[in-house]
Amino acid sequence: MTLPPVRHPGGNSHARFTVVGFCFLLAVITYMDRACIGVLSGTIREDLGLSMQQMGFVFSAFTISYAIFEIPSAWWGGKVGTRRVLTRIITWWSVFTMLTAAATGYVSLMAIRFLFGAGEAGAWPNATRVFSRWIPLRERGRVQGIFFAGAHMAAGLTPPLIILVLQPLLGWRGVFALFGVFGLFWGVAWYRWFRDRPEDHKSVSAAELAYIRQDGVADDAAHGISGNVAWRAILTSPHIWLLSLVAFASSYGFYFVITWLPTFLDSLGLSLATSAAYAGLPMIFSIPADILGGATTDWLAGKFGLRLGRAIAGGAAFAVAGVSMFAATQMSSPHLIALLLAVGGGASMFALAASWASCIEIAGAHSGVASAIMNTIGQGGAMLSPIVTAWLVGMSGNSGGGWILPLQIIAGLYLLACLSWIFINPNARIAQ
């Protein structure tokens, strides 16, 4: 499919840019809160007397509940609107971020992180639903890239910020209490400003609305904001399942980065400051990868059509990620290992915009639930990554060599995701 010629909007209305700004900040707050516990895991383990395996289950408690409640939260967004649901989501997770500071042991920390995940579930599918209604097709890749860049900027800056500044000042409990406050402010501002449909927002001009709708953006007025979900069509789409496999691989690697990477870098004998910098480097590399990935997949889609435009961007990104991750296991220099891991992690994020934009294009009006299914399966990778890594490293007695197999598993999953892009077709629309 080749996109029609661009028609620029007239007038001065650019309300959709404010929507993108809100979602960018949502992604920032989300990943500050997620990355926080991985950075502080060593101090938490020492303070609460936890083993590495117990900490692995604490990491996964979040992803288990996130996966359980992801689809219901996305469905709820379709029933009552993303304005209300995203307000509820960020308020809930912010409260439980702050409550993490009150943990007294393994059981209480597990319970708090489980409830934290239950609250955050559905945030990204509901953001995808926002984009499907507020952003025209030709801008979706770039917007998704900006959204992911916010998440990864936060994940990249959080380790040095916490290790070098906040933890010495506040302690690990004070860091969680501080981070929870940011989301509460976002929720108030979002509920006051946002509306579920651009038609209902006083800041959207007729020209901007026409520009948003020109590519056939799903319209809730046509489908009904509480319209039925095409479950059978979604669940029988091979392209949704392939995108879910890609999400599994991406999440498996990503959760290694935000949970065990700081611990792995410590095992390489690096200084505190160097380790903190390298811990955030994969996510720093992800920022230009997110933005360039979104712009590249949109440019390729305009030039070669949606199928090649999404597949080239997604497949090439995972090819680079897989090769870099495997190469890291063959090196002896700690600095070269850290740099290759950063390249691999960043390259995998180059594909995110293509994946989520493809899900919107395939699912149309049902993009919220479809992306929730994709993300739920992805959370399976996020759930397994900390546990499997802790088990494999623990089996080796926590030696440096025990980290090689976990990294090679990530490399293999990335290469499998690369192959999946050969068969993904964003033009294979499900029945609406």
242 touches 318 (CB < 8 A) = no
**Per-residue confidence (pLDDT) for residue 222, from 0 to 100:** 36
Residues of the chain with pLDDT > 70, as a percent, come to: 92
pLDDT tens digits, one per residue of 308-343: 999 999 999 999 999 999 999 999 999 999 999 999
pLDDT tens digits, one per residue of 24-79: 999 999 888 777 888 888 899 999 999 888 988 998 898 889 888 888 888 888 78
Does the pLDDT value for residue 96 go beyond 80? yes
Query: Which amino acid is it at 25?
Result: L
Environment class of residue 191 by beta-carbon count within 10 Å: exposed (0-12), middle (13-18) or buried (19+)? middle
Q: Which of 111-115, 249-253, 373-377, 420-424 has the lowest mean pLDDT?
A: 373-377
Q: pTM of the entire structure?
A: 0.74
Average pLDDT over residues 82-111: 93
415 touches 318 (CB < 8 A) = yes
Domains and CATH numbers, the chain: 15-215+230-420 (1.20.1250.20)
Does the pLDDT value for residue 215 go beyond 70? no
Q: Which of 87-91, 119-123, 301-305 has the lowest mean pLDDT?
A: 119-123
Residues in the chain: 432
Q: Which of 12-16, 17-21, 144-148, 170-174 has the lowest mean pLDDT?
A: 12-16
